[in-house]
């Protein structure tokens, strides 16, 4: 049995698309949907979705917004830990052989987390998010980015312009399977070995920085993240956060950066 946990917040249509992709898996699978205090209209949709797929879905309603990893941790409570557990956003669609790839592949003992091949609508591979630890120069740029909002806008514009000159963002050349330092936060596969050390994910932050905190969590026990390019999941890319004003997003990121930078 594979368990998939996703966090929903006012975008239940994405959640149903995820469920459809999970119930079509070749391995027996079940979805836990954690709702992070959505509005009444969205909750009604979720109740209808749970009724529609009742044998394959369980809905957990939180009275408060727990944030991303906080919501995933609520979904983890009480689940058996002897099989991989897939955790992630709700704006994901899994390829039909996703569970088969994970279950039939032998991973190193210290690979506590598997990072799948997360592909956005424009074909960008979001993993490997960071194959090695971040360089001093890149940390310097991050320090400038988080010094103030104007600096962040300038650096963001510069990065987009460089990507435009290069013909768009592209990391399709770096798709070898193996150890990576950080995987994109949209989706992780927590292996049974993860739960030998931890009961849940480190949820110090409400949003943003989860990748670094997970890397730091694994470093504490000499665990690692392993990139699996054959396990493919399609990502709508921050469907929830698209509704949040950019300055608010920046505030979320800055509030946690100076704590998690030590894990980069």
**210-223 burial string, b = 16+ CB within 10 Å, else e?**
bbbbbbbbbeeeeb
Show the domains of the chain with their CATH numbers: 2-130+176-239 (3.90.550.10)
Collapse the DSSP code of 108 into the 3-class scheme (helix H, G, I; strand E, B; otherwise coil) and give the result.
coil
- Check residue 210 and give its pLDDT: 93
Give the C-alpha separation, 160 to 156, whole Å. 6
pLDDT tens across the length of the chain (264 residues):
899 999 999 999 999 999 999 999 978 999 999 999 999 999 999 999 999 998 999 999 999 999 999 999 999 999 999 999 999 999 999 999 999 999 999 999 999 999 999 999 989 999 999 999 989 998 999 999 999 999 988 888 887 767 656 555 666 677 889 999 999 999 999 999 999 999 999 988 877 889 999 999 999 999 999 999 999 999 987 555 555 558 888 888 888 898 899 999
- Check residue 17 and give its pLDDT: 96
Q: Are 226 and 107 in contact (CB under 8 A)?
A: yes
The DSSP H or E segment spanning 27 is none
Integer Rg of the chain from CA: 18
Q: Are 68 and 185 in contact (CB under 8 A)?
A: yes
- Check residue 68 and give its pLDDT: 93
- Check residue 119 and give its pLDDT: 96
The CB density around residue 62, as the number of other CB atoms within 10 Å, is 18
Collapse the DSSP code of 221 into the 3-class scheme (helix H, G, I; strand E, B; otherwise coil) and give the result.
coil
- Check residue 114 and give its pLDDT: 99
Q: Is the Cα dihedral 264, 205, 201, 11 positive or negative?
A: negative
- Check residue 206 and give its pLDDT: 74
Phi, psi angle pair for 68, to nearest 5°: -70, -65
Taking alpha carbons only, the member of 46, 34, 39 closest to residue 74 is 34
Give the C-alpha separation, 8 to 94, whole Å. 17
Q: What is the DSSP letter of 133?
A: P
Give the C-alpha separation, 212 to 216, whole Å. 6
Q: Are 126 and 172 in contact (CB under 8 A)?
A: no
111-120 and 224-235 strand pairing = parallel
Tokens of 154: 């300038």
Give the CA count within 13 Å in the CB-facing half-sphere of 62. 21
The CB density around residue 247, as the number of other CB atoms within 10 Å, is 10
Phi, psi angle pair for 3, to nearest 5°: -105, 135
């Amino acid at each position: 049995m594979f368990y998939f946990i996703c966090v929903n917040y006012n975008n239940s249509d994405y959640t149903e698309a995820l469920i459809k992709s999970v119930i079509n898996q070749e391995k027996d699978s079940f979805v836990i949907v954690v709702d992070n205090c959505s509005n009444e209209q969205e909750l009604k949709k979720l109740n209808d979705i749970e009724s529609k797929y009742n044998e394959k879905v369980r809905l957990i309603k939180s009275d408060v917004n727990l944030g991303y990893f906080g919501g995933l941790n609520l979904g983890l409570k009480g689940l058996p830990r002897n099989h991989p557990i897939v955790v992630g956003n709700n704006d994901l669609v899994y390829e039909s052989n996703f569970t088969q790839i994970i279950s039939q592949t032998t991973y190193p003992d210290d690979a506590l987390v598997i990072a799948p091949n997360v592909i956005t609508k424009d074909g960008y591979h979001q993993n490997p998010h960071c194959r090695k630890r971040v360089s001093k120069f890149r940390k310097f740029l991050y320090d400038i980015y988080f010094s103030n909002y104007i600096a962040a806008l300038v650096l963001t514009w510069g990065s987009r312009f460089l990507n435009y000159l290069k013909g768009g963002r592209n990391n399709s050349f770096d798709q070898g399977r193996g150890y990576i330092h950080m995987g994109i936060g949209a989706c992780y596969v927590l292996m049974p070995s993860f739960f030998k050390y931890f009961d849940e994910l480190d949820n110090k932050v409400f949003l943003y920085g989860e990748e670094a905190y997970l890397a730091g969590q694994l470093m504490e026990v000499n665990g690692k993240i392993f990139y699996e390019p054959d396990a493919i999941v399609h990502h709508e890319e921050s469907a929830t956060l698209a509704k949040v004003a950019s300055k608010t997003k920046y505030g979320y990121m800055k509030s946690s950066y100076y704590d998690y930078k030590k894990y980069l």
